[in-house]
A and B are shown apart, each in its own frame.
Chain A
Amino acid sequence: MITEKDVLHIADLAKIEISEEEVQKFKEDFQSILDYFNILDEVEENVEPSFQVLPLTNVFRKDEVKESLPREDVLRNPKHVEDGYIKGPRVVE
Chain B
Amino acid sequence: MSQQVTGQRMERKDEVVIGLEVHIQLNKLNTKLFCSCSTDYHEDEPNTHVCPVCLGMPGAMPVINEMAIKFAVKVALALNADVQPFTVFDRKNYFYPDLPKDFQISQYDRPLAWGGYVTIEAGQGEKKILLKRIHMEEDPGKLSYRGSITTARYSMIDYNRSGMPLLEIVTEPVMNSPKEARQFLNKLRIILEYLDVFDGSLEGAMRIDANISLKGGGRVEIKNISSFKGVEKALTYEITRQKNLKRRGKEVRRETRHFDEINNITVSLRGKEEEQDYRYFPEPDLVPVDATGIIEELRGTIPEMPEQKRIRLAEQYGIGENFAKVLVLDLKMADYFEEVAKSLAEDGINLNVAASWTVDVLRGELNYRSKDFRFAYSILEPAEMVKILKYLTDGKITEKSAVEIIRTILDKGGNVDMIIEEKGLFAIANSEIEKLCREAIEKNPKAVEDYIAGKEQALNFLVGQVMKATRGKADPAETARIINKILS
**Which residues of B lie under 8 Å from residue A74 when comparing CB positions?**
47-48, 50, 55, 159
Contact B97 A91 (CB under 8 A): yes
Q: Is the CB of A61 within 8 A of B65?
A: yes
Report yes or no: B37 in contact with A65, Cβ–Cβ below 8 A. yes
- Give B49-82 interface residues, CB cut-off 8 Å to A: 49-52, 55, 63-69
Question: Is B290 in contact with A91, judged by CB distance below 8 angstroms?
Answer: no
- Given A57-B288, A60-B66 in contact, is the A68-B38 Cβ separation under 8 Å? yes
- Chain B residues lying within 8 Å of A89, measured Cβ to Cβ, are 97, 154-155
Given A13-B277, A60-B69, A85-B144, also A71-B154 (CB < 8 A): no
Q: Determine the chain B residues whose CB is within 8 A of the CB of A61 once the complex forms.
A: 36, 63-66
Q: Nearest chain-B residue to A92 (Cβ)?
A: B271
Q: Give every chain B residue within 8 A of A88 (Cβ-Cβ).
A: 97-98, 143, 154-157
Q: Which residues of A contact B157 (CB under 8 A)?
A: 85-88
Select B287's contact among A57, A64, A84, beta carbons within 8 Å: A57
Q: Is B375 an interface residue (CB 8 A)?
A: no
CA distance A75 to B158 in the complex (A): 11
Which residues of B sit under 8 angstroms from A80, Cβ to Cβ?
154
In the complex, the answer to whether A51 meets B110 with C-beta atoms within 8 Å is: yes
Residues in chain B near residue A86, CB distance under 8 A? 47, 156-157, 159
A88 and chain B: residue at smallest CB distance? B97
Alpha-carbon distance between A84 and B31 when the two chains are bound, in angstroms: 22
Closest to A55 in B: B287
Contact A51 B288 (CB under 8 A): yes
Interface presence of B289 (CB below 8 A): yes
Q: Are B36 and A87 closer than 8 Å at their CB atoms?
A: no
B140 → chain A closest CB, angstroms: 12
Question: How far does the alpha carbon of A69 sit from the alpha carbon of B52 in the complex, in Å?
Answer: 8
Interface assignment of A38: CB less than 8 Å from any CB of chain B? no
On chain A, the residues within 8 Å of B273 by CB distance are: 13
Across the interface, which residues of A come within 8 angstroms of B64, CB to CB?
59-61
Evaluate contact between A63 and B50: CB separation under 8 angstroms: no
Please indicate the chain B residues that have their CB under 8 angstroms from the CB of A85 in the complex. Answer: 46-47, 144, 156-158
Q: Would B50 and A52 count as touching, CB distance under 8 A? A: no
Contact partner, A69, options B50, B66, B110, Cβ 8 Å: B50
C-alpha gap A83/B258 in the complex (Å): 28
Q: Mark B265-294, 1 if CB is under 8 A from A, else 0.
A: 000011101000100001010111110000
The DSSP consensus for interface residues of chain B is loop
Q: Which residues of B contact A39 (CB under 8 A)?
A: none
Known A-B contacts A60-B65, A88-B97; the reply to A93 vs B269 at CB < 8 A is yes
Kindly provide the distance from the CB of A48 to the nearest chain B CB, expressed in whole angstroms.
11
Residue A5 is within 8 A (CB to CB) of chain B in the complex: no
B220 to chain A, nearest CB (A): 16
- Closest B residue, CB atoms, query A49: B282
B48 nearest CB across to chain A (Å) = 5
Nearest chain B CB to A42 CB, angstrom units: 21
Cβ of B275 to closest chain A Cβ, rounded Å: 13
Is A56 an interface residue, CB under 8 A from the partner?
yes
Chain B residues positioned under 8 Å from A82 (CB to CB): 156
Q: Within residues 1 to 46 of chain B, which ones have a CB less than 8 A from any CB in chain A?
A: 29-31, 36-38, 45-46
A33 within 8 A of B: no
Interface size on A, residues (CB 8 A): 34
Shortest CB–CB separation between residue B85 and chain A, in angstroms? 10
Q: A68 to B50, Cβ gap below 8 A?
A: yes
State the CA gap A65–B32 with chains docked (Å). 9
B153 is an interface residue with CB less than 8 A from chain A: yes
Check if A65 sits within 8 Å of B38, measured CB to CB: yes
- On chain B, the residues within 8 Å of A54 by CB distance are 287
Do B63 and A59 touch (CB < 8 A)? yes
In the complex, which residues of chain A have a beta carbon less than 8 angstroms from the beta carbon of B277?
13
Given contacts A52-B284, A82-B156, is CB(A63)–CB(B258) below 8 Å? no
Given A88-B97, A91-B96, A91-B97; A59-B287 close (CB under 8 Å) = yes
Most chain B CB within 10 A, of A13, A15, A59, A60, is at: A60
Known: A57-B290, A84-B46, A90-B145. A63 touches B30 (CB 8 A): yes
Complex interface residues of chain B between 288 and 307 (CB less than 8 A to chain A): 288-290
Q: Is A79 an interface residue (CB 8 A)?
A: no
Give A75's nearest chain B residue, CB to CB: B47
Minimum CB–CB distance from A37 to chain B (whole Å) comes to: 13
Complex interface: chain A residues within 8 A of B149 (CB): 90
- Whether the pair B47, A62 counts as a contact (CB closer than 8 A) is no
B88 at the interface (CB under 8 A from A): yes
A-B contact pairs, 27 of them (CB 8 A): A13-B93, A13-B273, A14-B95, A51-B88, A56-B287, A57-B287, A60-B64, A61-B66, A63-B31, A65-B30, A66-B31, A66-B36, A68-B49, A69-B51, A71-B45, A74-B47, A74-B50, A74-B55, A83-B46, A83-B156, A86-B159, A88-B97, A89-B97, A90-B149, A90-B152, A90-B155, A91-B155
- Interface residues of chain B, those whose CB is within 8 Å of chain A, are 29-31, 36-38, 45-52, 55, 63-69, 88, 93-98, 110, 143-145, 149, 152-159, 258, 269-271, 273, 277, 282, 284, 286-290
Given contacts A54-B287, A80-B154, 11 further A-B contacts (CB under 8 A): A13-B273, A51-B282, A52-B287, A57-B290, A63-B67, A66-B31, A71-B48, A84-B46, A90-B145, A90-B152, A90-B153
Closest 8 CB pairs of A and B: A88-B97, A60-B66, A66-B36, A85-B156, A63-B67, A57-B290, A51-B282, A56-B287
